[in-house]
């Protein structure tokens, strides 16, 4: 009101009002409009009242705290500045800073993930995300009690971290490009991968802890404690992220490819890379976009941001242009409803797909995400395709059906954190209700995977047909629900399907840090071997463990005919240090 009175008063002086209006218009034009991210994205600034922010954060958490299979999706984005708020992160919630450096956004107070199940049990604490900001935790320690599909990326923790809640079970997890000033206590975490991160110290171990390109990796060697340490990360690019400059211009930062790297990317401030202006992106919305409208924009040369929500697709989203960036916010979910793939790509350089949940639909899909068409053969070493935080689900929110979840045909592809899950609980779950033969099929050569979580599929969890493959960390529960051995037999004399299968034709393959677990529901069902590979010197595995988590059935061998059988009581957890 006072602005209007002031302008009315100035109007009596003739030419001056035009000057004032011009200056005001110029000031308004100098500040770009905020992109339309839709109703499920909240963008906070330091000028937003703390009570207003807290009210919105609490309202979302009230829905998402126990919303394991619900349809809601949310993202909280913080503009550069300092904040005093408490941020609990529930299901399908992304919390991200919009600075070029994590230190540009500073949250003083709790940022935490709490166990989603009773008795402090975090083994179903899935699908949530924190990226790109710094935290000074209340009390000095940040609680991150998580399991699968919970990225912690490009974070600065100005204190300590604990990866469980009051010593309750947890089954994580992933961190990359993170700096923790103090100690990380993994506690009851069953397994974990840390890539390109730094801390003062690490405490804790259980079954399978992997450290790749980490500064101050903990002392000790496999199998006691079960630490797998790889000094340098051979090839990776970090996940793209939204950022805002001082003038208010939004862009997406695409980090540079790094080879033989150690530690974080942002030690000197910005992460090296290129920035793509926001106007180069088509910003899709689940309430009004279809595969057809999205494909039209992609064909016109746009990159793609998918805002939070569920996109029901009657045809695949097609990525055809080299260096296309696809970035999902708030666990944007792609669900094919007509028995097609959800997304396919060309065999083209530099395509990046990040931050998406692929949810199988009610009609059988041949595949959910296909990277490169079958028969792809191009060399992408200089500019590989990369996948970051791409997650897959068959059943749980409702019956879903697919033959393969992720099929990688393009050479040199980088898989940078995935959880590929055939649901073992929730709605639409049963041996004939949510069929899925394979989690991951790799046909391309020289494919590298970091943080490979693949569970409960009905045949090989992973089938690797390409040469030169590398996996750094593997976690897998084999299916719970084959009702008898006849329905779970891969070949004469071979019970079940190995969790990790390297095809007989493969000449070279290498993997580090694998944990494979059995939880058979029905008695008298066994698995002959957890890992099945051709017996040749070019195929090498380092540090494998098998564990029986239930009283029924066993895994008879760790890799091929080596390692011996698991046992629940007394607990026997066979380990193989090197194969061959």
CB under 8 Å to 75, separation ≥6 — which residues?
A: 37, 40, 41, 42, 93, 94, 95, 96, 307, 308, 329, 330
Residue 477 a catalytic site member: yes
Name the CATH architecture for the domain at 283-477: 3 Solenoid (2.160)
Q: What's the mean pLDDT when you consider all of the chain?
A: 94
Q: Report the b/e string of 213-236 with b at 16+ CB within 10 A.
A: bbeebbeeebeeebbbbbeebbbb
Region of poorest pLDDT, from 18-27, 211-220, 431-440, 471-480: 18-27
pLDDT digits (tens, 9 = 90+) for 289-314: 999 999 999 999 999 999 999 999 99
- What average pLDDT does this structure show over 486-510? 97
Residue 569 is predicted with a pLDDT of: 85
Question: Are 456 and 435 within 8 A, CB to CB?
Answer: no
pLDDT at 116 over 50: yes
Backbone angles phi, psi at 314, to 5 degrees: -100, 5
Residue 30 is predicted with a pLDDT of: 59
Question: Are 74 and 40 within 8 A, CB to CB?
Answer: yes
Q: Report whether CATH 2.160.20.10 matches the domain 41-232.
A: yes
pLDDT at 351 over 70: yes
Residue 172 is predicted with a pLDDT of: 87
pLDDT digits (tens, 9 = 90+) for 51-105: 999 999 999 999 999 999 999 999 999 999 999 999 999 999 999 999 999 999 9
Residue 17 is predicted with a pLDDT of: 44
- What average pLDDT does this structure show over 492-515? 98
pLDDT digits (tens, 9 = 90+) for 359-418: 999 999 999 999 999 999 999 999 999 999 999 999 999 999 999 999 999 999 999 999
Question: Are 294 and 284 within 8 A, CB to CB?
Answer: yes
- What average pLDDT does this structure show over 152-179? 96
Residue 553 is predicted with a pLDDT of: 87
- What average pLDDT does this structure show over 239-268? 97
Residue 31 is predicted with a pLDDT of: 74
Number of alpha helices (DSSP H) and beta strands (DSSP E) in the chain: 4, 47
Looking at 94, 198, 477, 532, which residue is catalytic?
Answer: 477
pLDDT digits (tens, 9 = 90+) for 19-55: 444 444 444 445 789 999 999 999 999 999 999 999 9
- What average pLDDT does this structure show over 217-246? 97
| Opening angle at CA 180, ends 178 and 182, nearest 5 | 165
Q: pLDDT-based confidence at 7, cuts 50/70/90?
A: very low
Query: What are the domain boundaries of the chain?
Result: 1-30, 41-232, 283-477, 478-504+514-580
Distance CA 470, CA 392 (A): 21
pLDDT digits (tens, 9 = 90+) for 546-571: 999 988 889 999 999 999 999 988 88
Whole-model pTM: value is 0.94
Distance CA 104, CA 337 (A): 41
Residue 208 is predicted with a pLDDT of: 98
Residue 58 parent element (H or E):
helix 50-64
Q: What three-state secondary structure class fits 244?
A: strand
pLDDT digits (tens, 9 = 90+) for 190-230: 999 999 999 999 999 999 999 999 999 999 999 999 999 99
pLDDT at 13 over 60: no
Q: Taking Cα atoms as reference points, which of 56, 88, 384, 75 lies closest to residue 242? A: 75
Name the burial class of residue 565, with classes exposed (0-12), middle (13-18) and buried (19+) by CB atoms within 10 angstroms of its CB: middle
Q: pLDDT-based confidence at 11, cuts 50/70/90?
A: very low
Residue 1 is predicted with a pLDDT of: 35
Residue 199 is predicted with a pLDDT of: 98
Distance CA 193, CA 113 (A): 18
pLDDT at 317 over 70: yes
Q: pLDDT-based confidence at 16, cuts 50/70/90?
A: very low
Pairing type for strands 448-455 and 160-162 reads unpaired
CB under 8 Å to 56, separation ≥6 — which residues?
A: 42
Distance CA 110, CA 137 (A): 5
Distance CA 400, CA 360 (A): 5
CB under 8 Å to 117, separation ≥6 — which residues?
A: 123, 124, 125
The sign one gets for the Cα dihedral 113, 271, 75, 194 is negative
Q: Do domains 41-232 and 283-477 have the same CATH topology?
A: yes
């Amino acid at each position: 009101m006072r602005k209007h009175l002031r302008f009315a008063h100035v109007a009596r002086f003739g030419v001056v009002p035009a000057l004032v209006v011009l200056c005001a218009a110029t000031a308004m034009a100098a500040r770009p409009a905020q992109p339309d991210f839709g109703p499920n994205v909240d963008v906070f600034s330091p000028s937003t009242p703390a009570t207003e922010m807290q009210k919105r954060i609490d309202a979302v958490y009230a829905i998402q705290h126990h919303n394991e299979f619900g349809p809601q999706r949310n993202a909280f984005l913080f503009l550069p500045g300092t904040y005093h708020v408490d941020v609990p992160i529930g299901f399908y919630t992304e919390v991200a800073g919009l600075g070029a450096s994590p230190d540009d956004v500073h949250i003083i107070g709790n940022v935490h993930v709490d166990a989603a199940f009773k008795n402090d049990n975090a083994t179903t604490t899935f699908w949530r995300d924190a990226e790109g900001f710094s935290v000074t935790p209340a009390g000095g320690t940040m609680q991150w009690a998580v399991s699968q599909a919970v990225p912690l990326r490009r974070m600065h923790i100005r204190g300590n971290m604990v990866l469980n809640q009051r010593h309750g079970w947890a089954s994580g997890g992933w961190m990359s490009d993170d700096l923790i000033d103090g100690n990380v206590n993994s506690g009851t975490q069953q397994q974990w991968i840390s890539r390109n991160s730094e801390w003062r110290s690490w405490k804790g171990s259980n079954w399978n802890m992997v450290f790749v390109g980490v500064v101050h990796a903990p002392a000790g060697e496999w199998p006691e404690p079960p630490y797998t340490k790889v000094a340098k990360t051979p090839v990776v690019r970090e996940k793209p992220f939204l950022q805002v400059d001082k003038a208010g211009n939004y862009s997406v930062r695409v980090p540079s490819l790094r080879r033989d790297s150690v530690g974080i990317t942002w030690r000197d401030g910005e992460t090296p890379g290129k920035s793509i202006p926001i106007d180069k992106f088509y910003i899709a919305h689940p309430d009004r976009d279809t595969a057809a409208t999205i494909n039209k924009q992609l064909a016109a040369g746009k990159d793609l941001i998918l805002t939070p929500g569920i996109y029901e697709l009657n045809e695949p989203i097609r990525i055809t242009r080299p260096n296309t960036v696809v970035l999902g916010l708030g666990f944007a979910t792609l669900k094919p409803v007509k028995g097609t793939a959800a997304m396919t790509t060309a065999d083209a350089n530099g395509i990046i797909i990040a931050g998406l949940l692929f949810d199988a639909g009610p009609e059988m899909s041949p595949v959910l995400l296909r990277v490169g068409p079958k028969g792809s053969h191009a060399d992408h070493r200089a500019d590989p395709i990369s996948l970051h935080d791409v997650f897959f689900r068959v059943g749980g929110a409702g019956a879903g059906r697919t033959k393969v979840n992720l099929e990688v045909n393009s050479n040199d592809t980088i898989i940078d954190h995935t959880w590929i899950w055939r649901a073992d609980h929730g709605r639409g779950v049963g041996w004939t209700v949510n069929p899925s033969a394979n989690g991951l099929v790799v046909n391309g050569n020289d494919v590298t995977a970091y943080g490979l979580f693949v569970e409960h599929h009905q045949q090989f969890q992973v089938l690797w047909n390409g040469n030169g493959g590398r996996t750094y960390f593997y976690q897998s529960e084999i299916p719970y629900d084959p009702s008898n051995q006849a329905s779970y037999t891969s070949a004469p004399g071979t019970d079940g399907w190995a969790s990790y299968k390297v095809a007989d034709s493969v000449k070279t393959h290498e993997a580090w840090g694998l944990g494979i677990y059995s939880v058979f529901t029905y008695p008298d069902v066994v698995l002959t071997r957890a890992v099945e590979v051709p017996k040749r010197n070019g195929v090498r595995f380092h540090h494998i463990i098998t564990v029986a988590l239930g009283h029924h059935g066993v895994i008879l061998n760790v890799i091929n005919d080596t390692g011996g059988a698991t046992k629940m009581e007394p607990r026997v957890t066979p380990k193989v240090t090197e194969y061959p």
